[in-house]
Amino acid sequence: MASLESRLGAGATPHRRPWMTQSRREAIVAYIFISPWLFGLLLFLVGPILLSFYFSLTKYTLVQAPQWLGLANYERMLTDPFVGIALQVTGTYTLLAVPLGTVTSLLVALLLNQKVAGIRAFRTIFYMPSLISGVAVAIVFSWLFNHRLGIVNFILSRVGIQGPNWLGDPNVVLWTLVLMSLWGAGSGAVIFLAALQGVPQSLYEAAELDGAGGFRKFWHITIPLISPVIMFSVITGVIGTFQTFTISYLMTGGGPGYATLFYLLYLYRNAFNWFEMGYASALAWVLFLIILFFTLILLRTSSLWVYYESAGRER
């Protein structure tokens, strides 16, 4: 204070900044405006998330107060054969559906990026399936894939092929669900389409001058420049497929046998059919860690397979 007085001069009163500055006032107003959302976030998202972690450490039947178990639910998962089955089913589905879905979306986007008459109508048509509810899609596809009278096997029979029991054969059913997942490729295609349209034409023109053909342009220009979008598609795909529920719940009930016992279906049954909410909460947290693990791997390895334009310039 002495130094301040000496700087201000003797007898001068120090100028105190008011507590309620303009920026503070703006911040308070902003918080007031977003407070309903914040309240909702804490009450309906953060609260249940924290509670579910607590429940995962307890025996909680939903109808009785939780009893502390420590890590017993997590230990139980190590010896529960159905966890292994569910992870295998879900992992296999992810391994099949994500790459196939990404490639299909990209191919559709390439088609929709052509300058042909009526392209806007085509774009709408390809996007529309993703607007239909998953429940409706599941019911319609269970009819399409009906072993005896489904239209898929009917068409196959017209060309002399005896179609499989799409939903009844444990060796086939997961492939059926993967095929079905391509139904929603339109939504991914829209994102790829935006990325494709962001690729500068000048790069293609330069490549053409250097004699590059269609495939080389696609491989050396298009793919690198849209690789961040591919990464986005893969990450959201992995997150989504690990949470697959509706199709197995409605179409197959986890069967035949356990061929479509997805992780989330098993979790749901524990929580709402078998009075095992504590164990289901532990399953949910492990699923979260699995998804986090794969997401981090994809992000950490992205420098190896994703081209970032800004990073390229820095180099």
- Cα 103 to Cα 22, 252, 298: the distances in Å are 52, 26, 17
CB of 179 to another protein, least distance (A): 17
> How many residues make contact with another protein (CB under 8 A)?
44
Q: Does 266 bind another protein (CB under 8 A)?
A: no
237-256 footprint of another protein as x/- string (CB under 8 A): --------xx--x---xxxx
Six token digits for residue 242: 């690990």
Choice between 148 and 315, CB closer to another protein: 148
Is residue 240 helix, strand or coil?
helix
Of 55, 126, 141, 262, the one binding another protein (CB under 8 A) is: 55
What is the footprint of another protein within residues 72-131 (CB under 8 A)? 81-82
195 vs 206: CA distance, rounded Å = 19
Backbone torsions φ then ψ of 59, nearest 5 degrees? -95, 110
Six token digits for residue 61: 């039947």
Whether a cis peptide bond, with omega within 30° of 0, leads into 18 is no
150-189 footprint of another protein as x/- string (CB under 8 A): ---------------x-xxxx-------------------
272-291 footprint of another protein as x/- string (CB under 8 A): xxxx-x--------------
Alpha helices for the chain (secondary structure H): 2-8, 22-41, 47-56, 72-79, 81-112, 119-127, 134-144, 151-158, 173-181, 185-197, 201-209, 214-217, 223-242, 246-247, 263-272, 277-300, 302-305, 309-314
Choice between 55 and 126, CB closer to another protein: 55
CB of 46 to another protein, least distance (A): 11
CB of 291 to another protein, least distance (A): 17
- Crossing angle, helix 173-181 and helix 81-112, to 10 degrees? 40
Q: Which stretch binds another protein (CB under 8 A): 29-37, 57-65, 209-217, 223-231?
A: 57-65
Choice between 126 and 166, CB closer to another protein: 166
Of 148, 158, 313, 315, the one binding another protein (CB under 8 A) is: 148
Choice between 13 and 162, CB closer to another protein: 162
54 vs 81: CA distance, rounded Å = 24
Q: What is the DSSP string of 66-101?
A: -EE-TTHHHHHHHH-HHHHHHHHHHHHHHHHHHHHH
* Residues at the site binding another protein, with contacts judged by CB under 8 A: 43-44, 47-48, 51-52, 55, 60-66, 81-82, 142-143, 146-149, 165, 167-170, 245-246, 249, 253-258, 268-269, 271-275, 277
